[in-house]
């Protein structure tokens, strides 16, 4: 069952988002330029056309059906920004031989242009391939130290000839010394792709800790809090929880999943955890309000506090803070942006309606 939401935001809102290259509208609509016959993402960096020369579509398929071609710059058909084949091959090679150093000559021998690879990693991971590779090796060293490997051996296994160089790189990457890392909880992270733009997922051994859109303004502050307040050492990597949320998110956006089963771990105050638990009780395809949640907690005057805890939720979509609306029915603030919130509510509502139609 594939669910497609066809309701577009107001025309003036889409024009503004297009002109300002607002990434919060990724996946919410596409812009098609009549004078060029090309369609783009709203955040495309190409020169913006005159609004009167643009028409808007809810889906890339609609643009193609109308005779438009995909923009070569923003690649709107790559709705989830999936890694191209040449990147996937390289990532598999890195997984197979994690200690291997990759020089530009080796990359060229594999048919990979180093500058092209650098640009792709900067766009999708926020760092160059070589920086990502170093951080990944340090993450493996972190895992070894926690399992009892000596710091000397961890440094050597990571390819460092100097112990002091390893210590400096380790502390710069993880904001903690290798010695203290032995008693710290590693928090592995990976980048996920969704129709609404890239997300970052973080998980430790007990469960998923963070799932946020990469352009969320509070993301840096949230990660720093996990490091400084909760003692996590953040490193790139994979575990079963990250693999599970990637599968479940794909099913959710396809309209085939209405309840997540990935294990969660939610560091926070007792009150915040109570609010987050109430958020998870809001049924798929339904909404609630801050006042209703406060009343269910036995604190009818705590709507403001509930709203604050709601804003501190680190698990977008899975802990569905997007299902909380204003008492007057308006869309209230959402960390991922109100356009994404509206998209998620339309997605869920469409899935519920289709299920009801099929039941008759």
Choice among 44, 71, 74, 321 that is catalytic: 321
Contact yes or no for 28/336 (Cβ under 8 A): no
At residue 80, the 3 state secondary structure works out as coil
List the structure tokens of 32.
């098609």
Q: Is 63 one of the annotated active-site residues of the chain?
A: no
Q: How far apart, in whole angstroms, are the C-alpha atoms of residue 47 and residue 26?
A: 18
The full DSSP string for 287-330 is: -EEHHHHHHHTT-TT-HHHHHHHHHT--BTTTS-GGGEE-TTS-
Cα torsion for 80, 85, 88, 89, to the nearest 10°?
A: 180
Q: 185-192 and 199-204: which strand pairing?
A: antiparallel
Largest CA-CA distance found in the chain, in angstroms, rounded: 70
Contact yes or no for 282/324 (Cβ under 8 A): yes
At residue 337, the 3 state secondary structure works out as coil
Q: How far apart, in whole angstroms, are the C-alpha atoms of residue 112 and residue 107?
A: 5
* Residue among 119, 129, 180, 184 at smallest CA distance from 151: 180
Contact yes or no for 62/8 (Cβ under 8 A): no
User: Catalytic positions, please?
Assistant: 321
């Amino acid at each position: 069952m594939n669910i497609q939401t066809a309701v577009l935001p107001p025309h003036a809102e889409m024009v503004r988002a297009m002109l300002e290259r607002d990434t919060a509208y990724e996946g919410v609509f596409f812009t098609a330029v009549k004078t060029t016959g090309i369609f783009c993402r709203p955040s495309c960096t190409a020169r913006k056309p005159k609004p009167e020369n643009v028409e808007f579509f809810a889906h890339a398929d609609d643009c193609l059906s109308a005779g438009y071609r995909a923009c070569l710059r923003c690649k709107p058909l790559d709705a989830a920004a999936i890694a191209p084949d040449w990147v996937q091959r390289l990532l598999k090679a890195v997984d197979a031989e994690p200690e291997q150093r990759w020089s530009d000559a080796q990359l060229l021998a594999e048919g990979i242009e180093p500058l092209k690879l650098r640009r792709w990693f900067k766009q999708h991971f926020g760092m160059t391939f070589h920086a990502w590779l170093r951080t990944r090796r340090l993450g493996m060293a972190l895992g070894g130290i926690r399992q009892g490997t000596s710091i000397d051996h961890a440094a050597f296994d990571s390819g460092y000839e100097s112990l002091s160089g390893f210590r400096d790189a380790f502390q710069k990457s993880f904001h903690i010394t290798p010695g203290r890392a032995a008693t710290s909880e590693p928090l592995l992270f990976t980048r996920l792709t969704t129709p609404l733009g890239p997300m970052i997922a973080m998980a430790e051994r007990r469960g998923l800790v963070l799932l946020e859109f990469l352009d969320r303004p509070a993301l840096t502050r949230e990660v720093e809090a996990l490091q400084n307040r909760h003692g996590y050492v953040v490193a790139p990597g994979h575990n079963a929880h990250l693999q599970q949320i990637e599968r479940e998110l794909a099913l959710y956006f396809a309209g085939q999943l209405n309840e997540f089963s990935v294990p969660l771990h939610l560091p926070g105050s007792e009150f915040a955890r109570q609010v987050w638990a109430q958020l998870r009780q809001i049924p798929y395809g339904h909404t609630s309000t801050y006042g209703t949640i406060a009343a269910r907690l036995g604190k009818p005057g705590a709507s403001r506090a509930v709203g604050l805890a709601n804003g501190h939720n680190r698990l977008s979509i899975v802990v569905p803070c997007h299902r909380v609306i204003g008492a007057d029915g308006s869309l209230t603030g959402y960390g991922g942006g109100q356009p994404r919130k509206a998209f998620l509510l339309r997605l869920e509502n469409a899935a519920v309606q289709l299920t009801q139609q099929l039941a008759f």
